[in-house]
Homo-oligomer: A and B are copies of this chain.
Amino acid sequence: MYFASDNSGPVLPQVMDALAKANTGFSMAYGNDAIMSEVRQTIRDIFEAPEAAVYLVATGTAANSLALATLGQPWQTVFCSSVAHIHMDECNAPEFYSGGAKLTLVGQNDKMTANELRAAIEGEETRGVHGPQRGPVSITQVTEFGTVYTLEELIALCDVAKSYDLPVHLDGARFTNAMMALGCTPAELTWKAGVDAVSFGGTKNGCMGVEAVIFFDPKTAWEFELRRKRGAHLFSKHRFLSAQMQGYLSDNAWKEAAAKANANAAHLAGGLRQIDGAAFMYPPQANMMFVALPRATHKRLFAAGAAYHLWSGSLEGDDPDEMLEARLVCDWSVTLDDINAFLDLAKG
């Protein structure tokens, strides 16, 4: 009963197989391997972006930080949600990689709205050189609260950014979960909506540790390569990043894993909805949910070995009925048996 995160589950068999298959003889280092050439083409095909610059790094934070540093300048501010991973969970990596840029927090919720974004942008740079300059907009899709921007919402945000000539970055650590939830194409979720660069996540969806960074306009590609190298994120045995992505994108493995994770979450959410008093902070739309349950329920679950994060409150406390929020995440590997066991316990 492991719902703590989709960053701690196993690796897809297709990815393990690709790694094993890649492990023969010598290969050009530093991204010049043949598998990378294949992966680059596959990603360009999938995204309908024949000119796109495509790079691989091993962590989501590297993907986000390097992409934002490439899109922006150190004297700028990046616009992002107040709960954005780049703000909350990267220990100032975007500030570090950008050379000291600022993050301007937009809104209070899972999603930024176009109006909030416009207001935030308007709030900056009215002071010449004195204030931070307006910089990239970064959007997380799936959001940190498990919701999914509709294409209309995404386009509206991009339109605001474009009206100020600001580049748009998409933090797609759970890109495929969002795509499957929306039933759209990769292109629709990115450049067709106005996204300039995307962190296309693999790690949370069944890879070992690989994320693609895709620039739809390749003009800053060389800068990204230098930033990646001096950030120590260029792998010598790069073929093993390439192979992960190769396996991930083969045979629809990526789509099926995300679909499975989303279905697992839907099943879990469906069960939780039938529990008296269980309240969702946000509608679960992909593979993650935040739900309030009574303290007594949490105690029962943890005692039985369930693993997940308590999002608010503490198990300590006298009132067994007090509602405490849980974050529950499903990856592709969670079993229905586990979900059902969890639900049985939750129902008491």
Contact = CB atoms under 8 A, between A and B. Distances in A.
A237 B331 CA distance: 13
A98 B73 CA distance: 12
Interface stretch (A44-52, A87-95, A154-162, A259-267): A87-95
B230 A91 contact: yes
A73 B225 CA distance: 13
Contacts of A228: 129
Interface in A57-93: 57-62, 65-66, 73-77, 88-93
A28 interface: yes
A100 B8 contact: no
Q: Give the interface size class of chain A.
A: 35 or more
A230 B16 contact: no
Interface stretch (A19-27, A182-190, A288-296): A19-27
Central interface residue in A7, A23, A100, A130, by most chain B CB within 10 Å: A100
B88 A203 contact: no
Contacts of A333: 25-26
Contact of A236 (B7, B11, B27, B129): B7
Nearest to A131: B88
A286 to B, nearest CB: 18
B203 A234 contact: no
A101 interface: yes
A208 interface: yes
A4 interface: yes
A275 interface: no
Contacts of A304: none
A76 B227 CA distance: 11
Please provide the 9 A-B residue pairs with the shortest distance between their CB atoms, ordered closest to farther.
A7-B236, A62-B232, A95-B100, A61-B232, A2-B26, A96-B100, A91-B230, A129-B229, A91-B229
Interface of A: 2, 4-5, 7-11, 16, 19-20, 23-30, 57-62, 65-66, 73-77, 88-93, 95-103, 127-133, 203-204, 208-209, 225-237, 240, 307, 333
19 contacts: A8-B28, A8-B237, A11-B23, A16-B20, A73-B226, A75-B91, A88-B130, A90-B130, A91-B131, A91-B230, A92-B101, A93-B229, A95-B100, A95-B102, A99-B100, A129-B226, A129-B234, A130-B229, A204-B236
Given A4-B26, A90-B130, 7 more contacts: A2-B25, A8-B236, A9-B25, A30-B128, A74-B96, A91-B131, A95-B95
